[in-house]
Amino acid sequence: MSATEQLSIRVEPTQQSRLSQVDFNNLTFGQIMSDHMLVAEYNDGEWTDVSILPYGDLTVSPSMSALHYGQAIFEGVKGYKFADGTVSIFRPEKNWERFNKSASRLQMPEVPEEIFLGGLKKLLDVDRNWVPSKEGTSLYIRPFMFATEAALGVHPSISYKFIIITCPVGAYYSKPISLKVETHYTRAAEGGVGFSKNAGNYALSLYPTQLANDAGYDQIMWTDAKEHRYIEEAGTANLIFRIGDSIITPHGDTILHGVTRRTIMELAEKWGYKAEQRKVSVQELIEGIENGTVSEAFAAGTAATITHISSIGFEGNDYHLPPVEGREFANKVLSYLNALRYGEIEDPFGWNYIV
Ligand code: COI
């Protein structure tokens, strides 16, 4: 789309809605896709053909460069329904900004606001009946972009597809999770792509995560590439700790800059806690659990929302966090964010983007 052209989004409604087949009382994560998807094409330096189509398979070339060289990025966003039927998306402009940072790092084109946010709004308008309303449920929104040039030379693709699909979901983690501190494998090194939401960051986590699962843990706690001394993130979510009266999250270019994490740290600051973005060593965490100064630990992400951490495995020992009922900060944030996202309280920060 050129700057002078008005964006028009063509809508081709489905002739066969699958809505009546969905059991909204038993939603799992990411299994059932909503009726429609937004698709935009990038060719010759311009975004063109922005359409909302019935959800369905794509035809791609086997030599498409995303399949070979991994130019593929995505986002996770959530939409909620208020009791009066209003549909709202939580801080999607922050996902749009992060998406374009990921795009730049992978030498992909930025997606303009009118396609990312305008397209999202229109897609949710078309599929508003797919947004669940029960507490703990939401419409998970997955914007993504991949390189479509059919060529095997290693160079930035000249063509891309940007797509948004959505699915009604329940919890990603249905109970507190145990994490194994990873001291051999590495997720990201400084100067790499750890901060970006690219597909490869998830592919590389699968094998070490399987090893952690085989050892009895739910997820990995990644540590820094140089020394495996400092905590980074959980791979599917960021990590936040309460140490003494401080709310602390690791930070840096090796860690995904999560929108949920940012929201929680902003709330911590507004509510008068000491909110810190700094390095946390595994040793500080383990000693803090043992001497009682670490009172809370949780994973924070769009999919994970706030998931309490039950225990941390390190060098053959398990360190157990206090019971979740007593975790004052995480429980307070969770209830506050639930009330705000479902429209039960005022939205003083303008975080709800109404469709
Ligand atoms: C999200 O939280 O939206 C994510 O992308 C995490 C994903 C692994 C489900």
CA of 71 from ligand 1 middle (Å) equals 18
| pLDDT band at residue 2 under the 50/70/90 scheme | very low
CB 164 within 8 Å of CB 77: no
% of the chain exceeding 70 in pLDDT: 98
Give the gyration radius of the chain's Cα atoms: 21
Contacts of 280 (CB under 8 A, 6+ apart): 230, 231, 241, 243, 248, 250
Closest atom of ligand 1 to 78 CA is: 3
CA of 84 from ligand 1 middle (Å) equals 28
Residue 127 token pair: 């599929």
Q: For residue 354, is it within any domain?
A: no
Measured by CA distance, the residue closest to atom 9 of ligand 1 is 303
Q: For residue 326, is it within any domain?
A: yes
Whether residue 1 has pLDDT greater than 90: no
CA of 228 from ligand 1 middle (Å) equals 24
Q: What pLDDT shows up at residue 135?
A: 87
Place of tokens 């990590």: 239
Do residues 52 and 200 share a domain?
no
Do residues 140 and 182 share a domain?
no
Q: For residue 353, is it within any domain?
A: no
Q: What is the pLDDT of residues 263-274, one digit of tens each?
A: 999 999 999 999
Whether ligand 1 lies within 6 angstroms of the CB of 302 is answered as: yes
Q: What pLDDT shows up at residue 347?
A: 97
Do residues 142 and 291 share a domain?
no
Q: Over range 244-261, report the average pLDDT.
A: 96
CB atoms closer than 10 angstroms to residue 107: 11
Residue 22 sits in a domain whose CATH number is 3.30.470.10
Closest atom of ligand 1 to 29 CA is: 9
In a mutational test of the pocket of ligand 1, which residue from 205, 209, 302, 306 has the highest number of ligand atoms less than 8 Å from its CB? 302
Measured by CA distance, the residue closest to atom 8 of ligand 1 is 236
CA of 171 from ligand 1 middle (Å) equals 12
Out of 125, 147, 170, a domain closes at 170
In a mutational test of the pocket of ligand 1, which residue from 74, 138, 165, 172 has the highest number of ligand atoms less than 8 Å from its CB? 172
CA of 352 from ligand 1 middle (Å) equals 20
Structural domain harbouring 194: 177-341
CA of 306 from ligand 1 middle (Å) equals 12
Query: Average pLDDT, whole number, for the chain?
Result: 96
Q: Is the dihedral of CA 101, 103, 105, 108 positive or negative?
A: negative
Q: For residue 58, is it within any domain?
A: yes
Q: For residue 348, is it within any domain?
A: no
Closest atom of ligand 1 to 302 CA is: 2
Q: What pLDDT shows up at residue 6?
A: 59
Out of 170, 199, 216, a domain closes at 170
Q: For residue 217, is it within any domain?
A: yes
| pLDDT band at residue 7 under the 50/70/90 scheme | confident
Q: How many Å apart are CA 337 and CA 344, to the nearest integer?
A: 10
Do residues 250 and 331 share a domain?
yes
Q: What is the pLDDT of residues 30-82, one digit of tens each?
A: 999 999 999 999 998 999 989 999 999 999 999 999 999 999 999 999 999 99
Bridge partner list, 135? none
- If one counts the domains in the chain, the total is 2
Q: What pLDDT shows up at residue 182?
A: 98
Do residues 260 and 219 share a domain?
yes
Whether ligand 1 lies within 6 angstroms of the CB of 143 is answered as: no
Q: What is the pLDDT of residues 181-200, one digit of tens each?
A: 999 999 999 999 999 999 99
Residue 275 sits in a domain whose CATH number is 3.20.10.10
Q: Over range 309-330, report the average pLDDT.
A: 97
Do residues 95 and 224 share a domain?
no
Q: Over range 298-308, report the average pLDDT.
A: 97
Do residues 127 and 202 share a domain?
no
Q: For residue 133, is it within any domain?
A: yes
Q: What pLDDT shows up at residue 3?
A: 42
CA of 6 from ligand 1 middle (Å) equals 33
Out of 170, 200, 228, a domain closes at 170
CB 89 within 8 Å of CB 143: no
| pLDDT band at residue 300 under the 50/70/90 scheme | very high
pTM of the model: 0.95
Residue 155 token pair: 């160079």
CA of 236 from ligand 1 middle (Å) equals 6
Closest atom of ligand 1 to 202 CA is: 8
Q: How many Å apart are CA 39 and CA 176, to the nearest integer?
A: 36
Do residues 273 and 153 share a domain?
no
Element (H, E) at 100: helix 92-105
Q: What pLDDT shows up at residue 281?
A: 98
